[in-house]
Every structure is written in structure tokens, then in C-alpha cells.
């Protein structure tokens, strides 16, 4: 292994820069040249590929977003478009490609390794949603979680001053982890996630019960993939007379300087990606399970039901918010 490339793709997440830095530094430490592909798969097609040096990743570990930029590139699903990208990788003599992103980005990497067997591919899970199989945590999840906590703590101040119910809509299309972990962390009365069927009448009864026993405010945490905050407020108003306000946290959740957890995770996963490439592995995603680094074939990662929603945390949140 003499030359590799790295790209970030799909939705950005805090800690992607720390992962790129780890890939670049560990590769160079092992006498491997590294190229940065700018704008994800779009840059691969456009040959936006440039050599990275040790200094290229200086002063990046603390920055949110991705200095390599990310882009959605639906055309990359077309085999003939992918061939252009593969031709560019070959032109630069690249033997290994590290893709930092979500499921969709992994699919692009898998296609490359199928269509060009001499190029090894490794995926690093970068998304705030924590929705990738084969790892307990994705890069960016912890930062987003802390951003939500910080925001809700502020909302809580105004909620308790006015004895209000606040409905907080957080990101998470198919995965309720952000709502779950944030809900527990802020003492939410109710967490509404795609993994658990929620009876809104029961939620209303919980809020009503809380008001009757003198609670100053209630927090309902809802994952966007389940229902919008507005829809939740409308449903609740059918059963309980509360002054419910909705806060949609939106893109604020994707930004900011990565937390210590995310920097450590990104650095470890980035380093492990280089280990795999040097061992000749391909078409695998790196991850962490019970604090041990691991890797999983892309095929297994795409099997939908492996990432386990933690029902124990869900139940605990209920028990703690009576
Ligand atoms: P994420 O990686 O966060 O899941 P997307 O699903 O948007 O984000 O995927 C990012 C990019 O990966 C897409 O814009 C496209 O370039 C590429 N991609 C997604 N799905 C495929 C696929 N089935 N085949 C090839 N490339 C894909």
C-alpha cells in the first residue's frame, strides 16, 4: 500500500475533520501517501483530488464540518458515472479509499470495490444519527447529543418560568437514538421515537398527571422521523389543555466543535481504517463495540436490524419521569 485517498460524503457531522486528520497522519506515519478527494463522490468524478501533507490537517481536530467538503451526488449510483471516478483513482495510482459518511456513502464504496478489485475500500461511520450497524457509536453523535442538551437546558429555563410544555423536535429519520439519549439527559417526560409505537393519549395523560402533582414544566422529545413537533402538539391538544410550544432544533445539531468523545472516537476509527488497509482488507466499515475497535463487511452493515435500540434506556426514562 503506497497511496490512498480519503473523502467525506453525505450529511456532515462534527468529528469528520478529526477522522480525516487521523487517516492522513497515520498513513504518512506508515509511509503511505494520502490524497484528499474534495466534495465527496462529486469530487471523485471531477478529479478534485489533491495530495495532503502532515500540515494539511493541522488545526482541524477542533473544527466542526469537514474541510474536504461533502456533497450529495446521486449520479454516483450510475455505473458509467462511477467508472469516471474509478478512472481518476487509477490515474493517481490510488490503491485504497477511505470513505467517511453514512450508509449511502458506504454503498458507493462497496460498488467501487466490486467494480475495481485492485482498489480497497474502508468506511468510517460519520453521522450524528447513530444509525449505522456494526458500531455502538458514530462520529458526531456525542456532539449533537450535547448540543441538544445545552439547547434544552436553556429552553427549560423559560419553560419553568411559564409552566409550559415544550415539544422538542430533534434529528433522526429512522433512528431514535438522539431523542432517546437526549431525553434521558434532560429529564424529558416522554420520548417519541420510530422504534416504539407511542399512544399520544397516554402521553397527554402523563403530562396532565405531572401538572396535577405540581410539575412546573414538561419536556416531550420527538424524533423527526416519527412525527413533527407541530403534529405532536396538535395531537396532544386533543386530549390535554396545555400551553404547548414547539422547538425544532434543526441544523444546529450538526454543527459545532466536536466533543472529546467524538475526537477520540474519530481518531481511533481513522487509525483503525489505516490498519485495515495495510492488512489488505476491503469493503468493510470500522466501528467500536464495548470500547473495542472492530470492522464489519459492508454487506452485514446493510442488514437493517442489527443496530439495537436500547429499550432499557427507554424504560428507565419512563421510570425516572413519573
Ligand atoms: P449518507 O452517506 O449520510 O447516508 P447519502 O445517502 O446521501 O448520505 O449518500 C451519500 C452519497 O453516497 C450519495 O450522494 C451518492 O453519491 C452515494 N451513494 C448513495 N447510495 C449509493 C448507491 N446505492 N450506490 C452508489 N453510490 C451511492
pLDDT in tens, 235-265: 999 998 887 899 999 999 999 999 999 999 9
The proportion of the chain whose per-residue pLDDT surpasses 70, expressed as a percent, equals 98
CB of 96 closer than 6 A to ligand 1?
no
Domain co-membership, 85 together with 199: no
Burial track 43-54 (b if 16+ CB lie within 10 A, e otherwise) = bbbbebbeebee
Check whether 245 is labelled as a binding-site residue: yes
**CATH code, domain carrying 106:** 3.40.50.450
Tens digits of residue pLDDT in 217-236: 889 999 999 999 999 999 99
Residue 318 lies in a domain: no
Give the structural domain span for 293: 3-140+258-301
Domain co-membership, 293 together with 203: no
Per-residue cell: 3: 497511496
Task: Record the pTM.
Answer: 0.96
Sequence-separated (6 or more) residues with CB below 8 Å from residue 204: 236, 238, 239, 240
Q: Can you give the pLDDT at residue 210?
A: 85
CB of 104 closer than 6 A to ligand 1?
yes
| Distance of alpha carbon 187 from alpha carbon 308, whole angstroms | 22
129 an active-site residue?
yes
Domain co-membership, 125 together with 13: yes
Residue 83 lies in a domain: yes
Per-residue cell: 46: 471531477
Ranges of the chain with pLDDT below 50: none
| Distance of alpha carbon 310 from alpha carbon 141, whole angstroms | 15
Longest CA–CA span in the chain (Å) reads 70
Residue 9 lies in a domain: yes
Q: Give the E-state strand segments of 203-261 in sequence order.
A: 218-223, 244-248
Last residue of a domain, one of 197, 222, 254: 254
Q: Can you give the pLDDT at residue 215?
A: 82
Domain co-membership, 159 together with 293: no
Domain co-membership, 124 together with 66: yes
Per-residue cell: 66: 469537514
CB distance 49 to 35 below 8 Å: yes
Q: Whose CA is nearest to atom 10 of ligand 1?
A: 10
**CATH code, domain carrying 233:** 3.40.50.460
Domain co-membership, 189 together with 228: yes
Tens digits of residue pLDDT in 171-186: 998 899 999 999 999 9
| Distance of alpha carbon 301 from alpha carbon 295, whole angstroms | 10
C-beta neighbour count of 22 within 10 angstroms: 25
Q: Can you give the pLDDT at residue 308?
A: 79
Q: Whose CA is nearest to atom 11 of ligand 1?
A: 105
CB of 105 closer than 6 A to ligand 1?
yes
Residue 312 lies in a domain: no
The candidate with the shortest Cα–Cα distance to 63, out of 105, 92, 10, 20, is 20
Domain co-membership, 263 together with 186: no
CB distance 81 to 106 below 8 Å: no
Beta bridge partners of 35: 5, 51
Domain co-membership, 165 together with 245: yes
Domain count along the chain:
2
Last residue of a domain, one of 254, 278, 313: 254
Amino acid at each position: 500500500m503506497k497511496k490512498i485517498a480519503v473523502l467525506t460524503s453525505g450529511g456532515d457531522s462534527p468529528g469528520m475533520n478529526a477522522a480525516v486528520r487521523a487517516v492522513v497522519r497515520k498513513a504518512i506515519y506508515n509511509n503511505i501517501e494520502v490524497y484528499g478527494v474534495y466534495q465527496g463522490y462529486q469530487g471523485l468524478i471531477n478529479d478534485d483530488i489533491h495530495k495532503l501533507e502532515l500540515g494539511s490537517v493541522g488545526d482541524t481536530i477542533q473544527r466542526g464540518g469537514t474541510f474536504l467538503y461533502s456533497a450529495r451526488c446521486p449520479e454516483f449510483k450510475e455505473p458509467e458515472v462511477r467508472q469516471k471516478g474509478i478512472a481518476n483513482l487509477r490515474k493517481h495510482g490510488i490503491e485504497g479509499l477511505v470513505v467517511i459518511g453514512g450508509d449511502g456513502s458506504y454503498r458507493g464504496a462497496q460498488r467501487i470495490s466490486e467494480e475495481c478489485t485492485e482498489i480497497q475500500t474502508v468506511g468510517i461511520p460519520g453521522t450524528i444519527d447513530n444509525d449505522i450497524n456494526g458500531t455502538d457509536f458514530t462520529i458526531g453523535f456525542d456532539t449533537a447529543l450535547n448540543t441538544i442538551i445545552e439547547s434544552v437546558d436553556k429552553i427549560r429555563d423559560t419553560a419553568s418560568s411559564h409552566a409550559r410544555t415544550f415539544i422538542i423536535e430533534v434529528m433522526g429519520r429512522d433512528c431514535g437514538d438522539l431523542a432517546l439519549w437526549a431525553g434521558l439527559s434532560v429529564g424529558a417526560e416522554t420520548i417519541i421515537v420510530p422504534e416504539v409505537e407511542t399512544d399520544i393519549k397516554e402521553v397527554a395523560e402523563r403530562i396532565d398527571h405531572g401538572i396535577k402533582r405540581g410539575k412546573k414544566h414538561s419536556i416531550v422529545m420527538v424524533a423527526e422521523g416519527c412525527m413533527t413537533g407541530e403534529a405532536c402538539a396538535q395531537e396532544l391538544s386533543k386530549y390535554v389543555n396545555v400551553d404547548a410550544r414547539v422547538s425544532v432544533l434543526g441544523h444546529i445539531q450538526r454543527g459545532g466543535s466536536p466533543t472529546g468523545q467524538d475526537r477520540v472516537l474519530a481518531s481511533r476509527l481513522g487509525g483503525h481504517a489505516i490498519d485495515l488497509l495495510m492488512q489488505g482488507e476491503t469493503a468493510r466499515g470500522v466501528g467500536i463495540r464495548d470500547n473495542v475497535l472492530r470492522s464489519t463487511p459492508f454487506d452485514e452493515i446493510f442488514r437493517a436490524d442489527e443496530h439495537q435500540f436500547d429499550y432499557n434506556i427507554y424504560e428507565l426514562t419512563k421510570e425516572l419521569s413519573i
